[in-house]
Amino acid sequence: MRDEVAVLYTEEEIARRVAELGAEIGRALEGRELNVLGLMGSLIFMADLVRHLPLETSMHLVRVSTQREQTANRVMTEIVFATAVPLEGCDVLLVDDVVDTGITLSYLLGHLHERRPRSVHVCTLIDKPELRKIDVHPDWAAFALKEDRGRFLVGYGLDWKGRFAGLPFLGTIARPSSGPRTAA
């Protein structure tokens, strides 16, 4: 399985960057108690990041379901978001795995702000700003990458059809010629 994967960032490089992010976020949000909301795909990243935050935190997983349907040269995106976590007056850190188009992030931020938190900040593992369709930007990103249409990101929680998520590094595989895209 690992033979198919080209290493992009080693386990050590990721650990170093996550520790740096924890310190950066800790300085920026010093003295606050954070409600960390992690999208399911960011579970490994969120767990490592929270261990490096020098702040009081509570952790919650948020399930976001995105379905894309292409008909008549038009892509329809349906996003479902649900959480029972009370956020009014709280400081929130939303942790995502990959931000590319910004569609899902914009949707989530809109729904989070409806719950009247004191503040909302975003940290993502991978930011792909050149793919942005909506002007929304994470406050922190572990890595900013250019899109490689021939390669697909895997490892460190990112999967392709359920495979590769458990790899301790971030890598790429040749993009399959057909099939759904799982990292958004």
Catalytic residues: 100
**Dmax (CA) of the chain:** 52
> Which residues make beta-bridge pairs with 136?
none
Strands lying side by side in the sheet with 140-144:
74-82, 56-71, 33-39, 91-99, 119-127, 140-144
Strand order from edge to edge, sheet including 6-9: 6-9, 170-174, 151-154
In angstroms, the CA 114 to CA 17 distance is: 32
Is the CA virtual torsion 135, 21, 110, 183 positive or negative?
positive
* H/E run at residue 31: none
Please name the helix (run of DSSP H) or strand (run of DSSP E) that holds residue 67, with its range, or none: strand 56-71
Who's near 166: CB < 8 A, 6+ residues apart?
none
